[in-house]
Structures are given as structure tokens and as C-alpha cells.
A and B are shown apart, each in its own frame.
Chain A
Amino acid sequence: AQSVTQLGSHVSVSEGALVLLRCNYSSSVPPYLFWYVQYPNQGLQLLLKYTSAATLVKGINGFEAEFKKSETSFHLTKPSAHMSDAAEYFCAATYFGNEKLTFGTGTRLTIIP
């Protein structure tokens, strides 16, 4: 079955440091890929998505992600972390034209002052 893998359930970075959250997908046919953020007691908010146009995708709040087919990866980055970035981040995919999202297990990002 198709899956999404997020390496690292918890990531801590210092304020102002680079944020790197990892995501890998499992199929030989590239899916559509999404990064969502979830703040405590809230629903999910879309940060950015890859739909086979540009491989470098820019999203909201200064985040971006690069699709690399050779590595089956879609890692999320932000050059300089801010305290407000503390949240849980989910990578997700839709496979083979299906509408349902397949989620990774999530990465909780902590920002150290």
C-alpha cells in the first residue's frame, strides 16, 4: 500500500535556525504532495502543495519544499525559525488520482528561544 514516511517524530531547533522536516513517499509514480500544519486544538492548515509543476514550491509563513523524484522526497524547509512555527507538521499525498489524503505520522516542531 502507498505510504508517506516522516523521519523524526520530534524536531527541536533554535529560534533563527534552519528548519528541516523530512518526508518520503512510497510509489514509483509521483503522487501529489502536501504539507499541512496543525496548531494545538485546531484543524489542519495547508502550507504548500506539489502538483507536478515547479519542483521547488513556496508556501505560506516562509516555508518551502523541494520535490526530488530520484529520492522520492518532499522535505519542508524554512531558513529561519520563529517561535510561532511551533506546531505539528504533517506530510500527505494523494495517489493515482484518488481524492483521499494519505498522511505521514507527523513531526512535532519545538522552537528553542
Chain B
Amino acid sequence: GAGVSQSPSNKVTEKGKDVELRCDPISGHTALYWYRQSLGQGLEFLIYFQGNSAPDKSGLPSDRFSAERTGGSVSTLTIQRTQQEDSAVYLCASSQTKTGGGKNEQFFGPGTRLTVL
């Protein structure tokens, strides 16, 4: 079946602009995660959704970052007033977890490469 998809695959924006990144999880997966991969910081957790709720948003780096999930499916990560340090690959993952306690496999999408000029 289809895996996790993300759009756009590449996004170039100017400093100060807002961007929206989209994630379509695997059908039926209740858990959805956003991570960021950058040269300086490696792979960092941003936020975790269970259904439409976000019980863990501890990794969001500032209030310029927000995310939502609707219908227990698609998620959007929004970055307002982008800065050059926001340049990174943003990865989305999903899993079947309801009460997995952290043991379930997370399936990753190909990522969105964001470049802030």
C-alpha cells in the first residue's frame, strides 16, 4: 500500500515568509510525528499526534512553529516568519500506535527540504 507522503518535496522561501508543509500518513495509522533533520542539529523530534490531539509538542523550537491534524489523517506543519536557521529537511512519520508505549515502528516519509534565503 501507499506509504507516508509529504508535500512539497522542496520549498524555497524568503526570510520572513510563512510556509506550510503537509503530511499524509499511512491509512489507518493513528499516530503521527514530525521531525527535523539539519546538519547542525541532526534528527530532532518536533511534535507527536495521537488522533487529532498533540500530547507531546515539546520539540517545537519556538512559537513560530505550529502543527495541526484534522480528521485523524492529514497534518500540516506551519512555520511563521521563517528564519535561515529553519532551513532543514522536515520528516513526517506515522505508526499504528494507540498505546504502544514507544515500541511500534514509525514509518517515515521522504521529507520536505526547506531552504530559507
| A100 touches which of B56, B100, B103, B105 (Cβ 8 Å) | B56
Q: Beta-carbon contacts of B52-71 to A below 8 Å, as 1s and 0s?
A: 00001011000000000000
Known: A43-B111, A98-B56. A103 touches B42 (CB 8 A): yes
Interface of A is mostly: loop
* Chain A interface category by residue count: 20 to 34
Task: Give the docked Cα–Cα distance between A70 and B114 (Å).
Answer: 42
Would B91 and A44 count as touching, CB distance under 8 A? yes
Stretch of A18-26, A61-69, A78-86, A89-97 lying at the B interface: A89-97
User: Which positions 65-117 of chain B face chain A at CB distance < 8 Å?
Assistant: 91, 93, 95, 97, 100-103, 105-111
- Residues of chain A within 8 A of B59, CB atoms compared: 100
- Closest B residue by C-beta to A49: B105
| A90 touches which of B43, B44, B45, B103 (Cβ 8 Å) | B43
Would B103 and A51 count as touching, CB distance under 8 A? yes
B94 to chain A, nearest CB (A): 11
B91 to chain A, nearest CB (A): 6
User: Is residue A17 within 8 Å, beta carbon to beta carbon, of the partner chain?
Assistant: no
User: Is residue A41 within 8 Å, beta carbon to beta carbon, of the partner chain?
Assistant: yes
Task: Give the docked Cα–Cα distance between A99 and B31 (Å).
Answer: 9
Would A43 and B103 count as touching, CB distance under 8 A? no
By a beta-carbon cutoff of 8 Å, the part of chain B in contact with chain A is 4, 31, 33, 35, 42-45, 48, 50, 56, 58-59, 91, 93, 95, 97, 100-103, 105-111
By a beta-carbon cutoff of 8 Å, the part of chain A in contact with chain B is 31-32, 34, 36, 41-46, 49, 51, 90, 92, 94-106
A-B residue pairs, 7 tightest by C-beta = A94-B102, A43-B108, A103-B43, A100-B45, A44-B108, A51-B103, A97-B101
